[in-house]
Structure formats: structure tokens, C-alpha cells
Amino acid sequence: MRALFCAAVLVLSAAPVFSGTSATSSPVTIVYQFNDPAPAFLLQGIKDEIERVLEPSSLLLQWRDRNDVSGSDSMSNLVVVDFRGQCQKERVVSAPNADLPLGRARTINGEVLPFIEIDCGQVQSFLHSSLAARPGQNSNLNLGRALARVLAHELYHVLAGTMVHSRTGIAQSSLSVNDLVSSRLDFAPTDAALLKYPHDRTSEVVIARRGPAYIQ
């Protein structure tokens, strides 16, 4: 079984561009939010796997909980990530919806915007459908690893500024359960070389603790 990803799914009624004005060496700030609180160890597992996957690109990451963001905060190279649905590991009984992607990045007029949504419930159902018969495989460790790789896939679209998929590695158009939970999965070298934050855009991401983030 393989899961599909989607980059072109939502349109913003706002300016079609955003900006990062910092140098290439400036960190990428991931402002994340869980619709349902996730255990600290799950978040740490996501962070560890993302940073491992992005290491060849030399990108520096900063993580900020959206609940701790104030209007006066200044953040460079911002990517907003919403983890939707139930992200805590528990027995999943529903089958995955084949029409829904595990993750998606917003686009407008063919341009990938720095807004990512990860469907935790869909990821859990997808894993459960294949791992239920494998003792010890349907675990918190594998859930965190899978969520991180879904996020890494969407970060590729945002940071490379492309909706195109690769033939191999994390940037493939679809990943199997084994891809999501294997001990190691990386970007193809040519894909890792594309990972950088776009700097040629003219508007800014506006974000607050509550309400939608948007482009100004």
C-alpha cells in the first residue's frame, strides 16, 4: 500500500507571494501547532528525524510552538505546520481514506506557500492498516518517524519551491508504509541540493496564536 501526497490543494485569498530576507545561512523557523495535544516524546521523535533527514542540506532549523508565539516575535524563513486530527498513538479502527493525502502544502497561482498540513489521523490509519499484524511495529516510534517523513516531504515542496516530485527517496509522489517506518529513508542527493528557503518574494507571513496564518 502506498500513500499519496498533495501540494496543490488550497488557495489563499491573499497576496500571491511571501518573503524571507535573511541570508541563506539563517535558520528555517518551523511554527507548529497540534489540534490535539501530542506527547512530548512524539514531538521530539519528529524533530530528531526531520533534522537527520535535512542534515545533508546544511539547513538550520528552529522550532516554535504556535501557542508561545506573540505578535512582537520576529522569525526568519517561516514555515507554518498544522498537525490535524488525533496525533496520540492509540488503537485505530478506521480504514485510511484513499482520497485524502497524508500531508499537503498550500499553493496559489502555481507557487508553493509556507503552509503545511499533516493529517495525523490519516497517517495513523495508514500505518495501522498495514502494521496491525506485525507485533511491535505499530508503535509510537514508527508513528513519529512516519509523521516526520510526511512533514519532510512537504518541506521539500516549500523549501525547494516546487510541486514536482522525485523518482526516489522522500520526495517521491507516494511512499509505502515500509518507506515511512524503515530504519532510514533520505532525500535523493539531487533533491537535498534543492533544499533552501526562497528569498525572492515580497510579502510576509502574518501569524498569531489563534486564527489562521496568512500572507500580507
What is the domain extent for residue 71?
Answer: 2-10+22-215
141 versus 19: the higher-pLDDT residue is 141
Is the residue at 16 inside a domain? no
Q: Which strands form 61-65's sheet, in the order they lie side by side?
A: 61-65, 28-34, 78-84, 111-119, 103-108
| Residue 204 confidence (pLDDT) above 90 | no
How distant, in Å, are the alpha carbons of 72, 130, 140, 195 from that of 124?
A: 36, 10, 10, 27
pLDDT-derived band of residue 18, with 50, 70 and 90 as boundaries? very low
**Range from 23-37, 64-78, 125-139 carrying the lowest mean pLDDT:** 125-139
Report percent pLDDT > 70 for the chain: 69
Is the residue at 15 inside a domain? no
> Could you give the number of structural domains in the chain?
1
pLDDT-derived band of residue 192, with 50, 70 and 90 as boundaries? very high
- How far is residue 93's CA from residue 171's CA, in Å, rounded to a whole number? 29
CATH code, 60? 3.40.390.10
Report percent pLDDT > 90 for the chain: 43
Give me the pLDDT at residue 6, please.
Answer: 47
pTM of the complete model beyond 0.95: no
